[in-house]
Structure 1
């Protein structure tokens, strides 16, 4: 593949060290890869070496997909402006997005990132419920805005920041490593749901009211967790009974990634009050959205504060998002994710039989986690081994990452 290097890699790295904040994450920091081009499932470094990309969660329909690129560039050549002008792309994008969702989810707000979407979802939820407190899950991550760090134990616990009084953290329904272990059954789901019920009771006993429950429909930073059957149905019922709103964070797991369904919340047979989408929505272009009901959206309108977003829902972003939805549907990518995911999980389970360091293989569609352990009985996390495997894969031109609280889940 023809690639052009604009400057030597060491110069790029030196400039980054000089001008980019040290806290900004860099993959493979001790020996980073300089990526200059990508196509489909492959990325290329400055020397033309090809890597299989198994870690990038934004190139949803493949890097530089022709349909997406053409839609965005053609619109850019005609017009790009803020969304306070009337434009077809915004309303067509809203129509197509809501067509993938169950009733009564029918009203969209367009923003630029998953963080913006989750922050706006909290504002909307509080405007409707008139209650402030939030229930989140252990190891949750919902974004980098201050409001979201507060409800992301994955972030604030690492930084050793205190939990805010209005935040209530429920046990993550991890049937492999969590508080209640066993098969991913309805019984396990009920035990974890009761944890949320107790949080609601404790909050009310202290005079606090739950305004929202927020969770990824399949927690990713928690270690690729699949909820036990019936978990969200019981939790949503409890939260709504307390006057709260249920938010499904689909930023990482939506748009057909789980296979068979467009949205991961459908795996639980529930309909959230608000969903947030992003990352894959623009195939790398910054576009995200909040979708809610007409009733909830009117409560947000009635609070008297007009909402606008300079770049959210601009014509180019909406053109990109429309084309992503077109490709997912046209090419049957959700069904493809289901088939390839089933095949991959079957092969990984075969490896599990051969390698005692594989403690658990879990997932659905192309949302898969392989948990490495030092000992299957104690389930001691094999963090160092996971990092070694990632390094070896990189040397073999396969890019993968780890996650979970112990960074031991591939």
Structure 2
């Protein structure tokens, strides 16, 4: 798909409410409280009151099929998570300066899903904190400072992590110690994604050398969700990881979005590429709505950081969060959610590819499990974010929620709860097809 003359779009601005749009009292109240930091979805925001499974209910009773929120990944208000959190908060909730059994029970269950080398886990409250800490650990372990990311990456909102999140920057440019490379797409790298992406990383490493900067890390979301979702071919990440390690840097797998069984074939996004990262960061779906996140690291790397810098997180790894996290892992296993993501995701992908074969405006469909990207284009073949917004609005009218991603804001980001049923997937596909012609 040609991107000539296409305008780069800020993802948070896509189909977002803006002050001055018609508003209701509840919206005015929110804006008065949060001011310029308020981010509301849709030009006519929705006031939600409850949710269950893959469905959310607005004030007034309208129900929406949720294909947007990947935080309640095992399903909104999953009974196992509700019970675990309720029980634990009635017993004890304190920081990690005390030994509490549920915390170590959780950490051991989490580590069982990870490569054995990553045997230390530092708990935080958000993916932003996790990525911030991972960069600092990488710098201590490697002695370098440079970080390579992709050109529309989003890794969080701390001061440090904002600087490695090109999609968050409305003005200015990246600092000298950050280089953004093109995402692993056919548009940038042709048929050989693996070699092309490796070459992009090697070019960034050469530029760091010219700047006199030692590399610390290649930091990527392993499904490249903010770049527009690029999952295939499985294994394409390996050569780029070899390149960063050969230059003395480390590989940080940001699993905040693709982790916890979403891609179906593997519990972690990096697993599809046959990789063992130097660090794994995680968040969002980890607690199914309870704020929790973490960095999994090698003991020697974490020790190198802690030798110079004390680290403690008051709320990271608290017992209530640990109880929620353990319940999420149990729900994924007991409800067969990884298998469900693979099966329902494949069915949905096939249905969307059928729609694409009939409608040229659907210029690309790709993904893994229940993480799928749908590219929309105009008659010229150029990315069409305006069509994307119209489709998002039309799907809302059909009671389906979805958001956008990608450099030009023309990619629908499909990431429903992992408990999605075949009937619910069919509802989405029908709503999408109808919305193209709304």
Task: Identify the TM-score tier after normalising by the shorter chain.
Answer: over 0.9
Secondary structure in structure 2 of the residue aligned to 1:222: coil
Q: Please tell me whether the aligned partners of residues 189 and 227 of structure 1 are also in contact (alpha carbons under 8 angstroms).
A: no
**2:230 paired with 1:219:** no
Query: 1:51 is matched with which residue: 50, 53, 64?
Result: 64
**2:206 paired with 1:201:** yes
Query: 1:133 is matched with which residue: 142, 146, 166?
Result: 146
Query: 2:188 is matched with which residue: 179, 187, 192?
Result: 179
- Superposed CA deviations along residues 29-69 of structure 1, whole A, max 9, x for unmatched, are x2111100011111001111111111011011111111001
Other-structure match for 1:240: 245
- Offset at residue 146 of structure 1 (A): 1.2
Other-structure match for 1:392: 394
- Superposed CA deviations along residues 59-91 of structure 1, whole A, max 9, x for unmatched, are 111111110011011100111111111111221
Other-structure match for 1:162: 173
Q: Counterparts in 2 of 1:227-306, with a 5 A limit?
A: 227-303=232-308, 305-306=309-310
**245-254 or 233-242, larger mean C-alpha shift:** 233-242
TM-score, structure 1 length as denominator? 0.93
**2:94 paired with 1:90:** no
- Offset at residue 264 of structure 1 (A): 0.5
Query: 2:114 is matched with which residue: 94, 101, 123?
Result: 101
Could you say which structure has the greater relative contact order, defined with CA pairs below 8 angstroms and 6 or more residues apart? 2
- Offset at residue 260 of structure 1 (A): 2.3
Secondary structure in structure 2 of the residue aligned to 1:231: coil
Other-structure match for 2:34: 20
Runs of 5+ unmatched residues, structure 2: 1-22, 413-438
Aligned pairs, number: 390
Runs (4 or more) in structure 1 with deviation over 6 Å come to: none
Q: Distance in 1 between matches of 2:357 and 2:392?
A: 20
Q: Distance in 1 between matches of 2:104 and 2:305?
A: 20
Secondary structure in structure 2 of the residue aligned to 1:179: helix
Runs of 5+ unmatched residues, structure 1: 1-8
- Offset at residue 205 of structure 1 (A): 3.2
Cα RMSD (Å): 1.3
**2:347 paired with 1:333:** no
Q: Distance in 2 between matches of 1:223 and 1:270?
A: 22
Secondary structure in structure 1 of the residue aligned to 2:35: coil
Q: Distance in 1 between matches of 2:238 and 2:69?
A: 31
**2:133 paired with 1:120:** yes
Q: Counterparts in 2 of 1:301-320, with a 5 A limit?
A: 301-303=306-308, 305-320=309-324
- Offset at residue 252 of structure 1 (A): 0.6
Q: Distance in 1 between matches of 2:245 and 2:366?
A: 30
